[in-house]
Structure formats: structure tokens, C-alpha cells
């Protein structure tokens, strides 16, 4: 139990650039409190203590602004950044290392659209491992959001999402670019930052160019020496190699 709590707190520190310590997260992060209370609510719910489960879930909602139905299934290191205004429905399923920002709904759709929207029937989304859902996004219906997919802020998603895809807009459409394969977290769902000092793709680094120049210079000196030999005159003097480190 304690190990699980520490894992939750460490997961938050790893994903929130503003989080400083396990203690700070445990005392001051609504996501941490909501997940803790959800574990209790879910344990009551699956043992058929439904009213008590709902009571714990409502208490968590008052305290944190995060409403998680006690029936929802949530994986490890789940993080709701900022909390407030998040709604997670009864049949939602969430994998490991999933991040939601404030104002996200993992909700059902109207019965007129989804004729199977009755008690006990799957009617909320499934989010696979490493999914990031931006603030205000609505993910609606019994859809599948693939591993490491990203949902843009304020998007509305009503169809399955491919693993690694980035979805934006209403209705959400995939941004055209290579899909992400890993579930490495990037804060706010933005692309992994590259080294600003690195040369553009396909251009060799300054060190590689200096090494190549050195090799060519040595080659030129060797050729000059052979030419001088053939002509019977003194050859060029090789200079000291330059330290490019």
C-alpha cells in the first residue's frame, strides 16, 4: 500500500515540472487524493457496497473537483494535472501512466446515439497505457484510445484512436505526422524537445566535420610526400593534428 502511494507520488513528480517532493505531492496534489479515495471507493463497489462506494466517490469530488465513478478501472501511476472539472464514467478503463489535464470528460454518449447505454453496459472509453488527454478534451462513448496517443486540448473524440496518434479538433482528427511509439511522457503532450544546439537532421556536427578535415589533410600530405619523392625534392612537413574535443 505504502509502496503504491509512493509510486503514485513519484509518477506525479516525473510528469509535473512544478512538483518538487513526495511530501508536497502527498499533501497538496488533488490527483493524489482523488486516486487514493478512488481505490477505496472501487474496493467497496466491487464488493457490492455500492452506496458507500458512491459516498466515498462524492466526498472525493467535493474535496478535489475530480469525479471518478467507483466502478471505473484505473491503472498505475494515473495523474490528473490540476484536477478540477474532470469526470470519469462508470465503465471507463484507464491503463498505466495515463495523464489527464483539468476539464477532461471520459463520458458516455446520449442513448439516442448509443442504443446500448444502459446500466452495466460498456459505454465509456478505454485509454491504453501512456495516453495523454489535454485540458477540456471530451472523450465520449465506448471507444478505444490506443497506447501513447495524445488528445489535444478542447478536442472532442468520439471514434477509436490509433496507438501513438495525436488527435485535435471537433470532431478530433489525427495530426499528420509519424506516430509516437514509446509511452515516454512529455509535459502538456507536446513533442519531445530536441537539443537546440544540435545540427539539423542530415547535417554533420562541428566535431565530425573537424575530424573529416583532419583526415583529408593527412591524406593530402601523404599524396604530396609521394609526389615529392617521385620528383626527387623534399616533401611537405606534416603539422600536429588539431584537438577537436
Ligand X SMILES: CC(C)(COP(=O)(O)OP(=O)(O)OC[C@H]1O[C@@H](n2cnc3c(N)ncnc32)[C@H](O)[C@@H]1OP(=O)(O)O)[C@@H](O)C(=O)NCCC(=O)NCCS
Q: Which residue has the cell 497506447?
A: 147
**Active-site hit among 38, 42, 69, 102:** 102
Kindly tell me the burial class for residue 80, based on how many C-beta atoms sit within 10 Å of its own C-beta (0-12, 13-18, 19 or more).
buried
End-to-end CA distance of the chain: 50
Residue 102 annotated among the catalytic residues of the structure: yes
Among 30, 71, 164, 189, which residue sits at the site for ligand X (rule: CB under 6 A)?
189
On whether the CB atoms of residues 100 and 80 are closer than 8 A, the answer is yes
Residue numbers 119-158 binding ligand X by CB under 6 A = 134-135, 150, 152-155
Nearest approach, Cβ of 198 to ligand X (angstroms)? Answer: 18
Over the window 159 to 188, marking each residue x when it contacts ligand X by CB under 6 A and - when it does not, the resulting string is -------x-xx-----x------------x
Applying CB under 6 A, does 191 fall inside the site for ligand X? yes
Pairing of strands 126-127, 86-88: unpaired
Applying CB under 6 A, does 5 fall inside the site for ligand X? no
Total chain residues near ligand X (CB under 6 A): 17
Footprint of ligand X on this chain (CB under 6 A)? Answer: 82, 101, 134-135, 150, 152-155, 166, 168-169, 175, 188-191
- Residues annotated as catalytic are 102
Amino acid at each position: 500500500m505504502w509502496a503504491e502511494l509512493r509510486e503514485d507520488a513519484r509518477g506525479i513528480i516525473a510528469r509535473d515540472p512544478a512538483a518538487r517532493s513526495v511530501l508536497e505531492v502527498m499533501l497538496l496534489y488533488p490527483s493524489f487524493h482523488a486516486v487514493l479515495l478512488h481505490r477505496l471507493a472501487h474496493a467497496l463497489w466491487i464488493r457490492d457496497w455500492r452506496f458507500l462506494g458512491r459516498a466515498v466517490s462524492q466526498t472525493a469530488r467535493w474535496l478535489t473537483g475530480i469525479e471518478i465513478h467507483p466502478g471505473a478501472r484505473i491503472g498505475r501511476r494515473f495523474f490528473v494535472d490540476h484536477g478540477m472539472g474532470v469526470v470519469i464514467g462508470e465503465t471507463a478503463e484507464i491503463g498505466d501512466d495515463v495523464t489527464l489535464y483539468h476539464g477532461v470528460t471520459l463520458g458516455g454518449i446520449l442513448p439516442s446515439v448509443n442504443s446500448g447505454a444502459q446500466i452495466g453496459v460498456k459505454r465509456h472509453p478505454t485509454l491504453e497505457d501512456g495516453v495523454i488527454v489535454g485540458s477540456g478534451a471530451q472523450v465520449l462513448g465506448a471507444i478505444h484510445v490506443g497506447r501513447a496517443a495524445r488528445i489535444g486540448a478542447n478536442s472532442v473524440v468520439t471514434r477509436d484512436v490509433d496507438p501513438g496518434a495525436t488527435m485535435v479538433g471537433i470532431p478530433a482528427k489525427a495530426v499528420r505526422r509519424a506516430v509516437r511509439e514509446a509511452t515516454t511522457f512529455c509535459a502538456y503532450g507536446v513533442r519531445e524537445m530536441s537539443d537546440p544546439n544540435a545540427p539539423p537532421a542530415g547535417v554533420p556536427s562541428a566535431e565530425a566535420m573537424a575530424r573529416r578535415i583532419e583526415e583529408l589533410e593527412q591524406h593530402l600530405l601523404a599524396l604530396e610526400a609521394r609526389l615529392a619523392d617521385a620528383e626527387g625534392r623534399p616533401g611537405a612537413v606534416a603539422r600536429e593534428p588539431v584537438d577537436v574535443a
